[in-house]
Amino acid sequence: MKVVFFLLVILVVTEIANAQEISIIPKPMGLTKKEGSFDISKNTQIVIAEEGDKNTANFLNDYLQHYYGWKLKITNLPVDHSIGIFTKKFLAADNDGYSFESGPDGIIISGNNNAGSFYAVQTLIQLVPTKPSPTLVIPAVSIIDAPRFAYRGSLLDVGRHFFPVSFVKKYIDYLALHKMNYFHWHLTDDPGWRIEIKKYPKLTTVGAWRNKSLIGRYPGIGYEVKRYGGFYTQDEIKEVVKYASDRFITIIPEIEMPGHSYAALASYPELGCRGSGYEVPALYREDPEVFCAGNDYTFEFLQNVLDEVILLFPSKYIHIGGDECPKEGWKACPKCQARMKKEGLKDEHELQSYFIRRIEKYLNSKGRTIIGWDEILEGGLAPNAVVMSWRGESGGVAAAKAGHDVIMTPSSHVYFDYAQKEDEDSLTFAWDGVITPIEKVYAYEPIPKELPKEQSKHVLGAQANVWTEYMNNPRKVEYMLFPRLSAASEVFWSPKEIRNWGSFESRLTTQFKRYDLWKLNYCKEFAERKPVSRIVQPFHINKATGKKITLTNEPSDNFPGHGPITLVDGIQNSKGLLKQTEFLGFFGTDCEVVIDLGNQTAVKNVKVHLYHQKGSWIYRPQFVEVFASNDTTSFRSIGRTEKVSAATGNAVMQVNFNPRSVRYLKVNMKNKGALPSGGSYVGSKAWLLLDEIEVN
Q: Which residues, in sequence order, are CB contacts of 151 under 8 Å at separation 6+?
A: 181, 182, 407, 460, 461, 462, 463, 492
Q: Does 323 bind ligand TNX (CB under 6 A)?
A: yes
By the rule CB under 6 A, 417 interacts with ligand TNX? yes
Angle at 580 (CA atoms; ends 682, 549), nearest 5 degrees: 95
**Euclidean distance between CA atoms 606 and 595, whole angstroms:** 11
Nearest to ligand TNX of 36, 474 (CB atom): 474
**Measured CA distances, 294 to 73, 273, 297, 346, 496 (Å):** 61, 8, 9, 14, 47
> What is the DSSP code string of 116-183?
HHHHHHHHHHHHS-SS--SSEEEEEEEEEE--S-SEEEEEEE-SSS---HHHHHHHHHHHHHTT--EE
The question of whether 39 is a catalytic residue gets the answer no
CA 581 centroid distance within chain: 20
Of the residues 53, 101, 189, 478, only one is catalytic, namely 189
Positions 29 through 88 that interact with ligand TNX (CB under 6 A): none
SS3 string, 601-666, reads EEEEEEEEEEEEEHHHCECCCCCEEEEEECCCCCCEEEEEECCCCCCCEEEEEEEEEEEEEEEEEE
The CB-of-439 to ligand TNX minimum distance in angstroms stands at 20
Site string for ligand TNX, 97-136 (x = CB under 6 A): ----------------------------------------
Residue closer to ligand TNX, measured from CB, 229 or 392: 392
- In the bound complex, what is the minimum distance in angstroms from residue 397's beta carbon to ligand TNX? 17
Q: For ligand TNX, which is the closer residue by CB, 287 or 469? A: 469
By CB under 6 A, the count of residues binding ligand TNX is: 10
Taking the least distance from each CB to ligand TNX, the nearer of 469 and 582 is: 469
Question: Of the candidates 480, 572, 571, which has an alpha carbon nearest to the alpha carbon of residue 521?
Answer: 480
Asked if 215 and 222 count as a contact pair (C-beta separation under 8 A), the reply is yes
Q: How far is the CB of 411 from ligand TNX (least distance, A)?
A: 6
Kindly tell me which residue out of 360, 469, 490, 582 binds ligand TNX, with binding defined by CB under 6 A: 469
Instruction: Choose the catalytic residue: 161, 184, 260, 413.
Output: 260
Task: State yes or no: residue 619 binds ligand TNX (CB under 6 A).
Answer: no
In whole angstroms, the minimum distance from the beta carbon of 471 to ligand TNX comes to 11
Q: How far is CA 556 from CA 284, 609, 671, 684, in A?
A: 24, 18, 13, 16
The stretch among 60-68, 409-417, 443-451, 639-647 that binds ligand TNX (CB under 6 A) is: 409-417
Which helix (H) or strand (E) segment holds residue 213: the answer is: strand 209-215
Q: Which is nearer to ligand TNX, 257 or 628 (CB)?
A: 257
415 binds ligand TNX (CB under 6 A): yes
* x-or-dash string of contact with ligand TNX, 637-666, rule CB under 6 A: ------------------------------
Interacting residues with ligand TNX between 359 and 398 (CB under 6 A):
373, 390
Active site annotation includes 189:
yes
> What is the dihedral sign for C-alpha 295, 300, 303, 304?
negative
Does 324 participate in binding ligand TNX (rule CB under 6 A)?
yes
| Closest CB 362 distance from ligand TNX, rounded Å | 22
Sheet holding 136-145, edge to edge: 30-40, 136-145, 98-103, 106-111, 83-85, 45-48, 73-75
Nearest to 293 by CA among 328, 253, 266, 263: 328
CB 186 to ligand TNX: min, Å: 8
Q: For the segment 418-457, give every residue that binds ligand TNX (CB under 6 A).
A: 429
- Residue 336's nearest CA partner among 408, 381, 288 is 288
In the chain, the amino acid numbered 545 is: T
Comparing CB distances to ligand TNX, the nearer of 256 and 625 is 256
Closest to ligand TNX by CB, 139 vs 322, is: 322
Burial class for 531, CB neighbours closer than 10 Å (0-12, 13-18, 19+): exposed
Q: How far is the CB of 189 from ligand TNX (least distance, A)?
A: 7
342-350: long-range contacts, CB 8 A cutoff, minimum separation 24: 347/379, 348/379, 349/378, 349/379, 350/379, 350/380
The nearer residue to ligand TNX, 174 or 390, going by C-beta atoms, is: 390
Q: Which stretch binds ligand TNX (CB under 6 A): 287-295, 357-365, 411-419, 586-594?
A: 411-419
Residue of 145, 190, 324, 469 marked active site: 324
- Span from 1-9, 201-209, 410-418, 567-575 in contact with ligand TNX (CB under 6 A): 410-418
- Is residue 51 annotated as part of the catalytic site, yes or no? no
How far apart are CB 453 and ligand TNX at their closest, in Å? 28
Told to check if 174 binds ligand TNX by CB under 6 A, we report no
- Cβ of residue 371: shortest distance to ligand TNX, in angstroms? 11
CA dist 404 → 255, 460, 464 (Å)? 21, 10, 20
Q: 417 or 569, CB closer to ligand TNX?
A: 417
| Angle between helix 165-177 and helix 114-127 axes, rounded to 10 deg | 90
Which residues are part of the catalytic machinery? 189, 260, 324
Positions touching ligand TNX (CB under 6 A) are 323-324, 373, 390, 411, 415, 417, 429, 467, 469
